[in-house]
Chain A
Amino acid sequence: GAVVSQHPSRVICKSGTSVKIECRSLDFQATTMFWYRQFPKQSLMLMATSNEGSKATYEQGVEKDKFLINHASLTLSTLTVTSAHPEDSSFYICSASDGTSGYNEQFFGPGTRLTVL
């Protein structure tokens, strides 16, 4: 149980285009979803937290107009990188929590490798 999928796993796009990444909880209802970004040899950086049906809470320094997050249902959240530039190239990972464990365990998706040319 507690499987999270992400699509696509890899994407290469041209500078200036927009890219949408999907995150799905396959066998549980995710009351909260998290989006992380990880640059090579660096730690996971939380970008935003989203609760189903409400606006995402962005971390300081993350542009909400550039990284659009939608959490329309209890099993799906999307991250859209708008007008992507080479500096947005990174490994994007989502995680989901169903809030049932005492420590709000997060289950991670397999990640999406974004390369902007």
Chain B
Amino acid sequence: GQNIDQPTEMTATEGAIVQINCTYQTSGFNGLFWYQQHAGEAPTFLSYNVLDGLEEKGRFSSFLSRSKGYSYLLLKELQMKDSASYLCAFMDSNYQLIWGAGTKLIIKP
């Protein structure tokens, strides 16, 4: 079967670093996505990993280990505007996105 799991909620302090983990199980894999979603808005694309390793993009980095079925999103120098839900999703063998429930990130001053 297929499943994907990420923590429901995390809290971090402005200026700090936070790592949001995502684990998944699937027989067919065509990459893993991270999206940011502010309340009441549609998701916006953050990153895509299909090979193992770390992809850095400004303050955000995403890591993938296919053998472990594991990914994380690393956010550095947190800003208040980073308060949002972060969704991980993998693309299965049919190129469909299978979504996690999202991690609500709360940033405190």
Contact = CB atoms under 8 A, between A and B. Distances in A.
A113 interface: yes
Interface residues of B, number: 21
A46 B94 CA distance: 13
Q: Is the interface of A mostly helix, strand, loop or mixed?
A: loop
Contacts of A45: 99
Q: Is the interface of B mostly helix, strand, loop or mixed?
A: loop
Contact of A43 (B42, B95, B102, B104): B102
A42 interface: yes
Interface stretch (B16-24, B43-51, B53-61, B71-79): B43-51
A89 interface: no
Nearest to A10: B40
B43 A108 contact: yes
Interface of A: 41-46, 49, 91, 93, 95, 103-111, 113
Given A43-B87, A111-B42, A113-B40, 20 more contacts: A41-B101, A42-B101, A43-B101, A44-B87, A44-B89, A44-B99, A46-B96, A46-B97, A46-B99, A93-B42, A93-B43, A103-B30, A103-B31, A103-B50, A103-B91, A104-B91, A106-B97, A108-B42, A108-B44, A110-B41
27 contacts: A42-B101, A43-B87, A43-B99, A43-B101, A43-B102, A44-B43, A44-B89, A44-B97, A44-B99, A45-B99, A46-B96, A46-B97, A46-B99, A93-B42, A103-B30, A103-B31, A103-B50, A103-B91, A105-B45, A105-B48, A106-B97, A107-B45, A108-B44, A110-B41, A111-B40, A111-B41, A111-B42
